[in-house]
Chains A and B, each alone.
Chain A
Amino acid sequence: MKGKKTKEEILFLIILLLFMLVITWSSFSYKPAARLIPLALGVTGLSIVCLQLLMLFSPVISNKLKFLKTSQLGSQSVGSPTTVTAGMAADKSIQLKTKWLDVLRFFAWLIVYLLLLYVNPLLAALAFLILFCIFESKLSFSLTIKLSLGIGAFLYTLFGIFLRIF
């Protein structure tokens, strides 16, 4: 499982590396005052990403610079999901088992919602909610109707009647 995570991290770092390269390269096209900070950020970003990649590929460098990695304190950086509580230790293993297909399905739903918004925002919200509850959450018909009516009425009152945005 650790190997899978390392592969994912390498892929993420390569994407970051390309992103930082584009940022650094683009910075040169701006006037000196406008490029000063972005260029500094691009170069710093490139260095940090390269260092991380080197540490992943070379155990020797990784050992020499271990103070830059996660410490052995048992706690991760603030805001990391694994810091939440000791009782959440099981979460990590669950997380690693994640199928990327589920993640893609979630984003596919979001894209459906985005496309529906081109028709009418309030109808889109209602349609998305019903479709998601029935096909994804597999909620009962009555619960789907209750949830959709509740949220639909709330959104219509707020955005349609009160704010008059939609």
Chain B
Amino acid sequence: MQELFHLTAFFEYFQWPAPLYLLVGVSLGMLFGILPGLSGGMCLALLLPLTYSLSAEHAVILLIGAMGSVAFSGSISAILINAPGTGQSAATCFDGYPLARQGRAGYALGAAGTSSALGAIFGTIVLVLVLPVGRYLVLAFSFPEYFMMAMAGLSVIIIVSQQAILKGFTAGILGLVFSSVGSDPITGAVRFTFGVDYLWDGINTIAALIGLFALAELVDLFVRKEAITRREMFEGRLTDVFAGVKAVFKHFGVFLQASIIGTVIGLIPGVGGSVANFIAYIAARQTSKESHKFGQGDIRGVIAPEAANDAKDGGALIPTLIFGIPGSVMMVIVLASLILHGITPGPRLMLDHPSLIVVLIYTLVLSNILCSSIGLLAARYLSRVTILSPGVLVPAVLTIAVIGIYAMRGIHGDIITALGFAALGYVMKRLDYPRIPLIIALMLGGLAQKTFHQTMILWGIKGFFLRPISLGMFVFIVLLVTISLIKGQKAGDAA
């Protein structure tokens, strides 16, 4: 492991054409992250055949380069047009889009870019430190802990809905019902498909996400016939982007807390970014004395999910490299590429292929720095999207979003799903129903249901409370929700 800290190792493996592969990977990752509908998994799947003729190190540079840049790029569209490119960027919408509407998209993008890059560096440092003992950490998590992790994510619903509890709960229940659609992973029963074959696989989360946020937002723009930001409110100066960069250092505690959360959640296979960004968001909100500002354009609401999103990549590499257990679709493809090059992930990987680990770690850091730098440089220009006339913005985004949804699987049903969720999203927006609980429940409902049944089958109800980590998490969730409700009640009384 000493090799990791030597810059000579860096120069040895990053000779030409390695920087080119990194640039190609980052550029493609950014493109797939920004465009709603296209996912990081698709990007890596596309790049996989290209790695056949490359050395293992170059293959890793190309794939990890793309992987590292997807998360932040997904947040660009989340901030600018309320359309998270991927599920892991959903929490960035909460405060990122309100900031964009206030004319401060550059500020939000500056903070998001810096927080992402620093979060990735934090996650990578933890990866380096934890790699030798990572197996013990990973093995400590089983179904009850996965369930509690999903419940922690779902507890966001209570926290974000405390000023409209019934409406928030209605949205959350709807999301959980939608997550039950399709084949049940444990019993095999096909539920709520009503004879529609398309629904056997369940509701496509990405199509639902785009419909509920991006398309619903486009309906609103189309109807209001006003740009996202009024020109007189728009601040497109470079200083605003730098103010966003500074904000990360000003709120360094929030960043650090979110990075730790992201790294720990990243360690757990199968949980990943969609949980990390929500939990980091609630942690930032709950530990703040001005929690009422969250959701209205508080920069800490951008910093926290972004830091967690990118810090989790370092953590996610631990189970992938040590056990060969991929935690996400992107990790599956990275793993497939390693196996294709004759490298078997496992405890001996660090001993047999130390150079590969060095390359992987440096690439993860470099790709995030490169992607965030591009994002920061372009932030000033990207933010101008928010002052475009709806007559131009609506058809342009609509064309790209719909074709992006269709490109996922080439199924018309995905577009119909997006259409349905767009209608629901617009009605919810119009009637002041929060849409966030619905999407949180939709994304985490499947994991919660599956791990609930797995725990019940293996240990029964006591399984949730006999394991120390699970019990600890249960207590944490109860405390979090109770404190949140008390705080909400006090705030209500004070008003």
Contact = CB atoms under 8 A, between A and B. Distances in A.
Interface of A: 5, 8-9, 12, 16, 20, 23, 26-27, 30-31, 33-34, 37-38, 41-42, 44-45, 48-49, 51-52, 55, 67-85, 87-88, 91, 94-95, 98-99, 102-103, 106-107, 109-111, 113-114, 117-118, 121-122, 125, 128-129, 132-133, 136-139, 143, 147, 151, 155, 158-159, 162-163, 165-166
B166 A68 contact: yes
Given A45-B170, A76-B163, A76-B432, A138 B391 contact: yes
Contacts of B223: 98-99, 102-103, 106
Contact of A73 (B166, B292, B395, B429): B292
B186 interface: yes
B419 A107 contact: yes
A125 B395 CA distance: 10
B403 A155 contact: yes
Interface in B368-426: 390-392, 394-396, 398-400, 402-403, 406-407, 410, 412, 415-416, 419, 422-423, 426
For chain B, give the interface size range.
35 or more
B387 to A, nearest CB: 15
A4 to B, nearest CB: 11
A48 B406 contact: no
Chain A CB count within 10 A is highest, among B174, B423, B488, for: B174
B320 interface: no
A69 B161 CA distance: 10
B238 interface: no
B18 interface: no
B400 A155 contact: yes
B187 A33 contact: yes
B480 to A, nearest CB: 16
Interface string B72-116: 000000000000000000000110011001100000000000000
Chain B CB count within 10 A is highest, among A8, A23, A138, A139, for: A23
B73 to A, nearest CB: 14
Chain B CB count within 10 A is highest, among A38, A129, A138, A151, for: A38
A147 B396 contact: yes
A124 B288 CA distance: 49
B177 A78 contact: no
Given A76-B164, A103-B426, A83 B399 contact: no
A121 B403 CA distance: 7
Given A67-B492, A91-B224, A103-B219, A75 B292 contact: yes
Given A80-B432, A121-B407, 14 more contacts: A23-B192, A38-B191, A38-B192, A45-B170, A48-B169, A52-B167, A73-B491, A77-B160, A77-B167, A85-B296, A88-B101, A107-B422, A110-B402, A113-B398
Given A23-B177, A48-B166, A84-B296, A73 B492 contact: yes
Given A8-B430, A77-B434, A103-B219, A129 B187 contact: no
Chain B CB count within 10 A is highest, among A26, A42, A106, A138, for: A106
A67 B390 CA distance: 39
Nearest to A32: B187
A40 to B, nearest CB: 9
A72 B495 contact: yes
B173 A44 contact: yes
Contact of A151 (B170, B189, B396): B396
9 contacts: A45-B174, A55-B166, A75-B292, A78-B161, A80-B432, A106-B219, A129-B399, A132-B399, A139-B391
Given A72-B492, A80-B432, A98-B223, A51 B191 contact: no
B326 to A, nearest CB: 23
Given A117-B415, A151-B400, A77 B161 contact: yes
Interface string B282-305: 000000000010111100000000
